[in-house]
Structure 1
Amino acid sequence: MSSSSTDKAGYAGLPLDRSGQAEAFDAIGNRYDEAFPHKEGQVAAVEWLTGALPGGARVLDLGCGTGLPTARQLADAGLDVVGVDLSGNMVDLARKHVPEADFQQMDIADLRPGGPADLGRFDAVAAFFSLLMLPRAEIPLALGTIHHLLNPGGLFVLSMVEADVDNFAIPFIGSTVRVSGYLRDELRAVVRDAGFEIVEETSYTYAPATADVQPEEQIFLRCRRVG
């Protein structure tokens, strides 16, 4: 990842340690979709986006993974889709699954105000289970970056696993990843503090189709940028 100019947008002094994270998802590849075959909450959140956006609206899929189902769903709705992911293998898979979208390998920190990458502004951003791959100290900064990337009044859909953990190593589909999370009251507060109105909240108890990922409570927030 790019780590220069980290004095902008509150990143000064943070190590931006991604060691092992991209490599884990490079190794997981298509097995991610096999482990999480049912994504009702994710699909429903994107349906809310597509119902609220005009054709051709520009949408960022942040942590796009294989491109399924989100980027595929957005593109099928006639939206202009850009996806980013830290894993090069995931980006390659997404390009195969959704060839009409634009996918790039990069870190959300690259997109911060004054950072090394500028993809322009978006009418909506989707971040499904991507911010939980960051240490807690970075999550408010990432939310600030998303606020910066959105046009005024832009829409934001977010999902996290409800858990009171910070940069905690867990086994995950044959690899090890580090994850962070919040209990839902704290998650709501962090999102609102970043300049978002929470329009709707849903949650799902999810049991992945793999033995080394425990059942989890997934929280989905449908939000609008304010300010």
Structure 2
Amino acid sequence: MGDVDGIDDALSTTGFDRTGQAEAFDSIGDRYDEAFPHKEGQIASGQWLADSLPTGSLVLDLGCGTGQPTARQLVDAGHRVVGVDLSSEMIRLARANVPEAQFHQVDIVDLEDLREGPFDGMAAFFSLLMLNRDEIPDILELLRRQLVENGLLALSMVEADVNDLAIPFLGNTIRVSGYLREDLHQVIEEAGFEILGEDSYTYAPLSSDIPPEIQLFLHCRRRR
């Protein structure tokens, strides 16, 4: 399979510049795990994905971050894991934390260039949060195409009616988007997914510059 490390991911094919997003997470590095030490929702959703797939399934960890906890969780469950992230520093940390998996620095919109799929399952924990709302339906359709028939998707978002909003984040500025719950359901279903289940958590990060939030975790299956 082709390795796409070094790809020019500064400007996505849809025209939204995410250079600042990558630079912010390069700067944050392993402080991300320190600021978010309690990830009960993500761990539970990752466990659903790991348990619902046959052992040895090929799983994509989209926006893998440091590889903790999701890539490690999936590898430990006996799955083959491919992780992607926009940040070169996150990829470096993920490779150190989960050497059994494959990790590539690649923009989500260039996922088809990875040539690793089709995937049996995907984890997309807070990765769509980093996109503009204009991109999200197309990205969900892209993910659907990269899944096998009846493939599974574990997805999380923060419940918030915002689009491309600049927020302070661990000493940096990032831009985020979100939906209210019913609107998120509609976007996911219109992209060709069936929602099998949902959990929500009120989360308060340790960092004082990040307010408490409602995290939504959806368990989905490719419908068509």
Q: TM-score range by the shorter chain?
A: over 0.9
Partner of 2:5: none
Q: CA deviation at 1:4?
A: 9.2
Q: TM-score, normalised on structure 2?
A: 0.94
The answer on whether the counterparts of 1:202 and 1:219 sit within 8 Å (CA) in structure 2 is yes
Cα distance in structure 2, aligned partners of 1:58 and 1:19: 29
Deviations 1:115-148 (A, max 9, x none): x432221000000001010000001111011101
Q: Contact (CA 8 Å) 1:204, 1:218: kept in 2 or not? A: yes
Query: In the alignment, which residue of structure 1 is the partner of 2:91?
Result: 91
Contact 2:12 2:18 survives alignment (8 Å): no
Give the alignment's Cα RMSD to 1 decimal. Answer: 1.4
Give yes or no for the alignment of 1:212 onto 2:209. Answer: yes
Structure 1, unaligned stretches of length 5 or more? Answer: 7-13
Counterpart among 163, 171, 174 of residue 174 in structure 1 = 171
Pairwise mapping of residues 194-213 of structure 1 onto structure 2 (< 5 A)? 194-213=191-210
* Cross-structure match for 1:75: 75
Which residue identity lines up with residue 91 of structure 2 in the other structure?
Answer: V
String of CA shifts for 1:152-207, please: whole Å, max 9, x gaps: 00000000001111110000011100000000000000000000000001100000
Is 1:67–1:94's contact at 8 Å kept on the other side of the alignment?
yes
SS state at 1:17 partner: coil
Contact 1:127–1:158 (Cα < 8 Å) also in 2: yes
Q: How far apart in 2 are the matches of 1:2 and 1:107?
A: 5
Sequence identity of aligned pairs in percent?
Answer: 62
Cα deviation, residue 52, structure 1: 1.1
Question: Is it true that 1:51 corresponds to 2:51 in the alignment?
Answer: yes
Whole-angstrom distance in 2 between the partners of 1:146 and 1:184: 20
Question: In the comparison of the two structures, how many residue pairs are matched?
Answer: 217
Structure 2 segments unaligned to the other structure (5+ residues): 1-7
Q: Could you tell me which amino acid in structure 2 is paired with residue 163 of structure 1? A: A
The question of whether the paired residues in 2 share the 8 Å contact of 1:3 and 1:110 is answered with no
Query: Is the 8 Å Cα contact of residues 91 and 103 (structure 1) preserved in structure 2?
Result: yes
1:150 to 147, 151, 167: 147
Residue in structure 2 matched with residue 42 of structure 1 by the alignment: 42
**1:163 corresponds to:** 160
Deviation string for 1:71-120 (max 9, x for gaps)?
Answer: 000000010000000000000000000000000000111024xxx43222
Task: Please report how far the alpha carbon of residue 3 of structure 1 lies from its aligned counterpart in structure 2 after TM superposition.
Answer: 8.0
Name the aligned partner's letter for residue 167 of structure 1. Answer: D
Question: Segments of 4+ in structure 1 off by > 3 A?
Answer: 1-6
